[in-house]
Amino acid sequence: METVTDPAIRAILAQRLLDHYAQHGRDLPWRRTREPYPVWLSEILLQQTGVKSVLPYYERFLDRFPTIQALAAAPLETVLTCWQGLGYYRRAVHLHAAAQQVVQHHQGRLPDEMASLLKLPGIGPSTAGAILAIAFNQHHAILDGNVKRVLSRLLALDHPPDSTPGKKILWETARLLTPLGHAGTHAQAIMDLGATLCRPRSPDCPHCPWNAWCAAHAKGQPAAYPATMSREVSKPHQYQFNALVVRQDRSLLLVPRPAQGLLGGLWCPPGDDPGPTATPPQAWQVQQWLADRYGLQVHLPQPLETVDHIFTHFRLTVFPFFCPWQAGDPPSDSGHRWVVPGTDQMPPISTLHRKVLRRFFKD
């Protein structure tokens, strides 16, 4: 911390970073505007997702929803369809809900003060700081994943960045290093530094504008930071089955996920909720479940190869079953649809369930 508590060194670090950014900063479409809505959208898209993946979605999203009002007025399903394939769908649900709140309570203009921004779904302190710094030229710091890594190495911080003491020190450091009058440019510059040079693996220390002051570099072990939790907690493993009910016309039964909860607002083949039971159900049990739950009669289900997927907090194994339809239709209040995969009838489905459908077509 001694490095960043010295005002003279802080001034040097700020100038070195801004000069480096002016020469090497990436030309990204959301950096060509200071309009609040595109800045907000880019910050949400970039949460836990790399720039390369985000680029086509950013352009497509703005084409489809050019204003906050257009986003708020769109059905959630349309928003999720536009988001499809990017993952972490809760971001899209929150973005849509926040747009509706902005229209209802802020005359369609994104708030320009911290307390109001933090009340919007999906906006935390770092995202709010980035919006206020970049779009409104206010003096706020940011602390996303890239910045946590950069600052952890600069300080050779012994605490994991997401621990209570680690977060306290990193926020204090981020605020100290954010220069007056240049908060927005500094935010872009330090995010760029983490993404392009101070990478998780193989950091490019020789080209870093801060290498002369970086404690991890001085120790000769920058890749040892950020510190990790002393005990690795393994993700719990859960299991579920999916019933792929297919009629003679090749249409597949899909049902909506509850708006709140895992994969909320998306569509999927019917199935049970994730649970700890690692033994797949018997074919006759799936057959009976479909009859009891949806009033469907199907030929004896055929088990397919399992599908594995990793969520943020748990691992999931899906047991898919091909269930040739015989008779019946789910009740109208189930919200179901019969769709032909691969056509424009398909509603938004998650990466997980695209894997399940690929397994079905493969087998």
Judged by DSSP in three states, 99 sits in helix
CA 216/CA 225 separation, integer angstroms: 7
> Which of these is catalytic: 43, 172, 232, 305?
43
Q: In the chain, which ranges are E strands?
A: 237-246, 252-256, 267-268, 297-298, 302-303, 307-310, 315-327, 337-339
Amino acid present at 207: H
Cβ burial, residue 108 (10 Å; 0-12/13-18/19+):
middle
**Local structure of residue 258 (DSSP, 8 states):** P
Q: Residue 250: which region, alpha, beta or left (left: phi > 0; alpha: psi -120 to 50)? A: left
Q: Give 287-294's long-range contacts (Cβ < 8 A, gap of 24+).
A: 287/323, 289/243, 290/243, 290/245, 290/323, 291/328, 294/253, 294/270, 294/328, 294/330, 294/331, 294/334, 294/336
Residue pair 267/254 in contact by the 8 Å Cβ criterion = yes
**Is 77 annotated as catalytic?**
no
Closest by Cα among 70, 199, 83, 89 to 145: 199
CA atoms within 13 A on the CB side of 210: 30
Find tokens 């595109």 and name the residue. 38
Judged by DSSP in three states, 238 sits in strand
Residues forming the active site: 43
